[in-house]
Structure 1
Amino acid sequence: MDPLLTGEQAALGAVLLDPRQLDGLDWLEPRDFYRPGHQALFAALRKLRAEGHPALGTEEVASLAWLTDTLAEASQHVRGLTASYLHALAAVCPRPAHAPLYGRMVLEGSIRRTVTEHADRLLAVAREDAGQHEVHGTATQADVLAGVLNDLATRWGTHSRATALRTPTLPTAVEPPAAAQVGNEQFLLSLLVHQNGAIEEVFDWLRPQDFAHPGHGQLYRCLGALHHRGEPIDPVTTLWEVQRRGLLAEGTLTEEQLAPVLRDGAAGSAEWLGEQLLRSSLTRAAAGAALQIAAHADERRLAPGQLIGHALHALGPLEELRARWRTATSPPTPPPRPDPGQAARVQAALARSPTRPGTRANPTPSHVPPPAPGPQRVHGHTSPRHFHRSSM
């Protein structure tokens, strides 16, 4: 027995038995039903209500005309509906007064399907962008998914806020890194080690978690620590920092992985290589978030509000990555252009300013003593200002 199917049948049966129950289902839409026949029936019921069907004005059990007109209207949009099926729907409903609760069951199923559908789209677009070295489609689909989650939160009547699972057991990794990806990361690390000052090009926006290989991410963390402390980066200091952090001892890095980085010099643009890594990290994070959201939607023990909150939380790291991507790819902000008329306006304003009474344009401080008499030069010799004739 499918609980969702039973809930849809009970909701429709309640309205077929008591048309007035539609008043408590204004928040439910035909697209919320899973089966196309159920969607057509609910749309027909809403249309008859909007047209003021006579069955809505009576407090008695729905008339046969209500069932007949509903079937006729729905049959114009979908095939396979019969009068016997409408009677079966009415038989499934135990109590028509419980229609709002049956409707919430329908809405909950719709929320799970909608979240799963958009998560699958994000996963497909992220994988396609990863193959084409693009990120625009991934960013757009992530925005669409976030908007859908906010809309679903409003419909369900919950707050649209991210909440984390207490015991996360859902998948986080997507696929192991390809050999080409590992090679690109190794080349960038070698460049950062051997090219003086290269890390300054990527330090502000590239993070260790952007590396697909965990060992490469820890090695980049070592380089970042050296740069942060203002220490030089070269093969010797890098090896010393790796040893201090115990990366070789604990197996995070192997000598086979570290040796090419320290031994082989590299030349190129660290900024360009870093952008390639960040692009791969963004699509990889989007695919991972999509897998987590789909797993959340499949967890029936999560209420719709919890599902929406956990899905928004899964998108959080992706948004942080997108912010760093914008920082890395945005052109530098040009300095403000000097205003040629600013100096003239300042001078004009000073000229219009009245001079306060009792002041002069260039006052001479009264406390400054007059200049002391200095020596005079006579015929090329320095002599006192006052001298006696007898000395001549």
Structure 2
Amino acid sequence: MTPLVQAEQAVLGALFLDPGQLDRLDTWLHPEHFSRPAHSALYATMLKLQADEHPATTAPVGGPVPLAWITDTLYEASTHARGLTPSYPHLLISACPRPDHAPAYGRMVLEGAIRRSVAQHAARLHQAALADDRNGTVAETLHHAQVLSDVLTDLARAWGTKARPAQPPTAYTPQAAPPPPLSEQGLADEEFLLGCLASRPEQLLELVHSLLPDDFADPGNQQIYRALVALHHRGEPIDQLTVLWETQRRGALADGVLDAKRVRRICDPLLGGAAEHFGEQVVQASLVRTATLTAGQVGALADRDALAPGQLISYALHTLHPLDDVRRRLRTARQAEPEPRPSLSPPGAPAPSARSDAARVRSRLADTTLSAASTAVPHRSSTDRRTHRSPK
């Protein structure tokens, strides 16, 4: 039997022995704070009988406790939870060392509830992020991230402390788990976005405040984006060669993160396009990855029994900072989306999909120069040759 279960038994035993202790608990200890359904049902019944002014709760302090207090509590609670036998209240009474220590036992129950609640909501955020990663969405991740933040604030209020983020000491800093693997579609989105920015650098003005290098899952793409932003801030020209030179200056070619062929391929000027959609896609993918890592770190903190509830809440709020930053930048990216242009397609025609641009990246021919040359020099038909023959 764990100390938490013993604390739950002790506080209920104290209330059976001295119902007047409810006045010291009812404002901050709630039935949902108990981990076992039977204990939750017993405590909820006691609160109900108190509200109904049961004779045991209105008796003078220190007076005898009527037997009806035990039998009525047991009868009412048995309608809501199984496993409550007539002997169970006596087991609870024997588990209570001192009835007047009920508030101390109640704080133990509340501490266990705080730890359990943080772990449960962190697990829900983790599951939501995994589901959104599979579905290519972020709605569930955004919802559960906000729920976790609100829960931490409410738990701080319940514990009687302020919701102040605090950086955990090195000994309690959660270890970062390896990031989820980058999908082929995600890599295509990142590369096409960089190609759009390299061919039309003016689009960086729309993305530089919502898109950071760490939003790119691929390390090589991170370096290319850093080079693009650096050239943009210095007001220097941006093309295949300048980006390649900047990545070389930053050591990305020397350490093997990138090679010159890949930089030229990604920054191909023939593959330009609008970057807004793919910028949002990259930030969304970053949100899901960050939520996965954050949920694991918060869950690891909740497993630290040595952390007091106030410390756990403060450290968990600090751990949420990177996720909150990505959420804010995603809102910025969505607010910066341009108004949709009127379609020139006939009514009923399918709208062009931005995914087709990413498909172009994956299906690009290796010899881009040859393709460009064949496109630039139109083939003259036999009719044209007959029309333009020299006169005899």
Aligned partner of 1:52 in structure 2 is 53
Deviation at 1:40, TM superposition (A): 0.7
Is the Cα–Cα contact under 8 Å of residues 223 and 233 in structure 1 kept in the other structure?
yes
Is the Cα–Cα contact under 8 Å of residues 17 and 61 in structure 1 kept in the other structure?
no
Deviations 1:202-231 (A, max 9, x none): 223211011011231122111100100000
Query: What is the TM-score when the length of structure 2 is the normalising length?
Result: 0.79
Deviation at 1:318, TM superposition (A): 2.0
Cα distance change on mapping 1:116 and 1:251 into 2, 3 Å: same
Deviation at 1:94, TM superposition (A): 0.8
Answering whether residue 113 of structure 2 is matched by residue 125 of structure 1, we say no
Distance 2:40 2:71 in 1: 17
1:163 to 159, 162, 166: 166
2:107 to 104, 107, 131: 104
1:301 to 298, 306, 316: 306
- % same residue: 49
Distance 1:174 1:115 in 2: 22
Which is further off, 239-248 or 149-158? 239-248
Aligned partner of 1:313 in structure 2 is 318
Distance 2:338 2:134 in 1: 31
Deviation at 1:137, TM superposition (A): 3.0
2:333 to 309, 328, 332: 328
| Correspondences of 1:240-389 after superposition (within 5 Å) | 240-254=245-259, 257-262=262-267, 265-330=270-335
Aligned partner of 2:4 in structure 1 is 4
2:221 to 201, 204, 216: 216
Aligned partner of 1:199 in structure 2 is 204
1:69 to 67, 72, 89: 72
Aligned partner of 1:369 in structure 2 is none
Matching residue's letter, 1:74: A
Cα distance change on mapping 1:191 and 1:68 into 2, 3 Å: same
Q: Secondary structure at the match of 2:87?
A: helix
Aligned partner of 1:376 in structure 2 is none
Answering whether residue 233 of structure 2 is matched by residue 228 of structure 1, we say yes
Matching residue's letter, 1:274: G
Aligned partner of 2:41 in structure 1 is 40
Distance 1:250 1:169 in 2: 29
Aligned partner of 1:359 in structure 2 is none
Deviation at 1:254, TM superposition (A): 4.3
Structure 1 residues not aligned, in runs of 5+: 335-392
Deviation at 1:314, TM superposition (A): 2.1
Distance 2:299 2:283 in 1: 24
Aligned partner of 2:365 in structure 1 is none
Larger radius of gyration: 1
Cα distance change on mapping 1:250 and 1:49 into 2, 3 Å: same
Aligned partner of 2:20 in structure 1 is 20
Deviation at 1:62, TM superposition (A): 2.9
Q: Secondary structure at the match of 1:6?
A: helix
Q: Secondary structure at the match of 2:72?
A: helix
Is the Cα–Cα contact under 8 Å of residues 244 and 264 in structure 2 kept in the other structure?
no
Distance 1:281 1:128 in 2: 14
Deviation at 1:255, TM superposition (A): 5.0
Q: Secondary structure at the match of 2:320?
A: helix
1:181 to 182, 186, 192: 186
Deviations 1:353-386 (A, max 9, x none): xxxxxxxxxxxxxxxxxxxxxxxxxxxxxxxxxx
Matching residue's letter, 1:99: A
Matching residue's letter, 2:8: E
Distance 2:131 2:269 in 1: 33
Distance 1:332 1:240 in 2: 31
Is the Cα–Cα contact under 8 Å of residues 8 and 33 in structure 1 kept in the other structure?
yes
Distance 2:303 2:270 in 1: 49
Deviations 1:105-147 (A, max 9, x none): 1111111121122222222222223333332332222222211
Is the Cα–Cα contact under 8 Å of residues 153 and 159 in structure 1 kept in the other structure?
yes
Distance 1:50 1:6 in 2: 27
Distance 1:7 1:265 in 2: 70
Deviation at 1:64, TM superposition (A): 2.5
Over the aligned positions, Cα root-mean-square deviation in angstroms equals 2.2
Q: Secondary structure at the match of 2:252?
A: coil
Cα distance change on mapping 1:24 and 1:196 into 2, 3 Å: closer
Distance 1:182 1:332 in 2: 22
Structure 2 residues not aligned, in runs of 5+: 340-392
Distance 2:191 2:53 in 1: 72
Which is further off, 28-37 or 304-313? 304-313
Is the Cα–Cα contact under 8 Å of residues 276 and 337 in structure 2 kept in the other structure?
no
Deviation at 1:265, TM superposition (A): 4.1
Cα distance change on mapping 1:239 and 1:94 into 2, 3 Å: same
1:87 to 81, 87, 90: 90
Cα distance change on mapping 1:146 and 1:169 into 2, 3 Å: closer
Deviations 1:221-261 (A, max 9, x none): 11100100000111211121112111222333345643532
Cα distance change on mapping 1:163 and 1:182 into 2, 3 Å: same
Query: What is the TM-score when the length of structure 1 is the normalising length?
Result: 0.79
Matched positions, count: 334
Distance 1:256 1:95 in 2: 76
Which is further off, 88-97 or 239-248? 239-248
Deviation at 1:76, TM superposition (A): 1.6
Q: Secondary structure at the match of 2:237?
A: coil
